[in-house]
Structure 1
Amino acid sequence: MASPERPRHTPPTGPALTCLVTGATGYVGGRLVPELLAAGHRVRVMTRSPERLRDHPWAGDVEVVRADAGDPDAVARACAGVDVAYYLIHALGAGPGFEKTDRHSAHVMAGAVRDAGVGRLVHLGGLEPGNEELSPHLRSRAEVAAILLGSGVPTVVLRAAVVLGSGSASFEMLRYLTERLPVMVTPRWVHSRIQPIAIRDVLRYLVACARLPADVHRRFDIGGPDVMHYAEMMQRYARVAELPRRRILPVPIVTPSLSSHWIGLITPVPAGIARPLVESLRNTVVCSEHDIATYVPDPPEGLLGFDDAVRLAVQRVRDSAVSTRWASASVPGAPSDPMPTDPDWAGGSLYVDERVRVADAPAEAVWRVIEGIGGERGWYSWPLAWEVRGWLDRAVGGVGLRRGRRDPDQLYVGDALDFWRVEERRPGRLLRLRAEMRLPGLAWLEFHVEHDPGSGGSTLCQRATFAPRGLSGHLYWWAVAAFHGFVFGGMLRGIARAAERRARATAEETPAA
Structure 2
Amino acid sequence: MNDDGPRDRPLCLVTGATGYIGGRLVPELLRSGYRVRCLARSPGRLRDQPWAGEAEAVRGDVTDAASLDAALRGVDVAYYLVHALGTGPDFEETDRRAARTFGERARAAGVRRIVYLGGLTPAGVPEAELSPHLRSRAEVGRILLASGVPTTVLRAAVIIGSGSASFEMLRYLTERLPVMVTPRWVRTRIQPIAVRDVLRVLAGCAALPDDVNRAFDLGGPEILTYREMMTRYAAVAGLPRRLVLPVPVLSPGLSSHWVGLITPVPAGIARPLTESLRHEVVCRENDIARYVPDPPGGRIGFDRSVQLALQRVREAKVTTRWSNASVPGVPSDPLPTDPDWAGGSLYTDRRERAVDASPEALWRVIEGIGGENGWYSFPLAWSLRGRLDRAVGGVGLRRGRRDAQRLRAGDSLDFWRVEEIEQGHLLRLRAEMRLPGLAWLEMYAEREGDGRARYRQRALFHPHGLLGHAYWWSVAPFHAIVFGGMARNIARAATRTPAAPAGEPVRSP
Structure 1 and Structure 2 fold alike (TM over 0.5): yes
Hey, what's the Cα distance between the residues in 2 that align with 1:202 and 1:262?
29
Residue correspondence of structure 1 range 238-277 to structure 2 within 5 A:
238-277=234-273
1:328 deviation in Å?
Answer: 4.7
1:198 maps to which residue?
194
Task: Tell me if structure 1 keeps the 8 A contact 2:41–2:59.
Answer: yes
Task: Tell me if structure 2 keeps the 8 A contact 1:25–1:52.
Answer: yes
SS of equivalent to 2:240: coil
1:37 maps to which residue?
30
Hey, what's the Cα distance between the residues in 2 that align with 1:398 and 1:84?
56
Return 290-299 or 76-85, whichever deviates more. Answer: 76-85
1:50 maps to which residue?
43
Q: Does residue 96 of the first structure (1) align with residue 89 of the second (2)?
A: yes
SS of equivalent to 1:244: coil
Q: Does residue 129 of the first structure (1) align with residue 126 of the second (2)?
A: no
Structure 2 segments unaligned to the other structure (5+ residues):
1-6, 503-509
1:326 deviation in Å?
Answer: 5.2
Task: Tell me if structure 2 keeps the 8 A contact 1:164–1:309.
Answer: yes
2:480 maps to which residue?
485
Counterpart selection for 2:408 from 407, 412, 421:
412
SS of equivalent to 1:324: coil
Q: Does residue 157 of the first structure (1) align with residue 153 of the second (2)?
A: yes
Hey, what's the Cα distance between the residues in 1 that align with 2:110 and 2:423?
57
Q: Does residue 476 of the first structure (1) align with residue 471 of the second (2)?
A: yes
One-letter code aligned to 2:130: L
Q: Does residue 323 of the first structure (1) align with residue 316 of the second (2)?
A: no
1:152 deviation in Å?
Answer: 1.1
1:54 deviation in Å?
Answer: 1.7
One-letter code aligned to 1:181: L
1:275 deviation in Å?
Answer: 0.4
CA RMSD of aligned residues (A): 1.8
1:112 maps to which residue?
105
Hey, what's the Cα distance between the residues in 2 that align with 1:294 and 1:326?
41
Residue correspondence of structure 1 range 277-296 to structure 2 within 5 A:
277-296=273-292
2:507 maps to which residue?
none
Hey, what's the Cα distance between the residues in 1 that align with 2:323 and 2:62?
35
2:496 maps to which residue?
501
Q: Does residue 435 of the first structure (1) align with residue 428 of the second (2)?
A: no
1:20 deviation in Å?
Answer: 0.9
Return 61-70 or 275-284, whichever deviates more. Answer: 61-70
Task: Tell me if structure 2 keeps the 8 A contact 1:332–1:339.
Answer: no
1:86 maps to which residue?
79
Hey, what's the Cα distance between the residues in 1 that align with 2:297 and 2:501?
63
1:24 deviation in Å?
Answer: 1.1
Counterpart selection for 1:236 from 214, 232, 244:
232
Hey, what's the Cα distance between the residues in 1 that align with 2:499 and 2:289?
72
Task: Tell me if structure 2 keeps the 8 A contact 1:194–1:284.
Answer: yes
TM-score scaled to structure 1, two decimals? 0.93
Task: Tell me if structure 1 keeps the 8 A contact 2:361–2:500.
Answer: no
Hey, what's the Cα distance between the residues in 1 that align with 2:447 and 2:57?
37
1:3 maps to which residue?
none
Task: Tell me if structure 1 keeps the 8 A contact 2:50–2:326.
Answer: no
One-letter code aligned to 2:190: I
1:63 deviation in Å?
Answer: 2.3
1:448 maps to which residue?
444
Hey, what's the Cα distance between the residues in 2 that align with 1:251 and 1:354?
41
1:452 deviation in Å?
Answer: 2.5
1:143 maps to which residue?
139
2:344 maps to which residue?
348
**CA-to-aligned-CA distance 1:129-166 (integer Å, 9 cap, x gap):** 12123211111111111111111111110110001111
**CA-to-aligned-CA distance 1:266-286 (integer Å, 9 cap, x gap):** 111011100000000111111
**CA-to-aligned-CA distance 1:268-314 (integer Å, 9 cap, x gap):** 10111000000001111111111111111110111111111111111
1:10 maps to which residue?
none
Task: Tell me if structure 2 keeps the 8 A contact 1:167–1:343.
Answer: yes
1:510 maps to which residue?
none
1:329 deviation in Å?
Answer: 4.7
TM-score scaled to structure 2, two decimals? 0.94
SS of equivalent to 1:322: coil
Structure 1 pair 108/329, CA: closer, same or farther in 2 (3 Å)? closer
**CA-to-aligned-CA distance 1:454-486 (integer Å, 9 cap, x gap):** 1x3211111110001111111111111111111
SS of equivalent to 1:46: strand
Hey, what's the Cα distance between the residues in 2 that align with 1:351 and 1:327?
14
Hey, what's the Cα distance between the residues in 1 that align with 2:321 and 2:456?
15
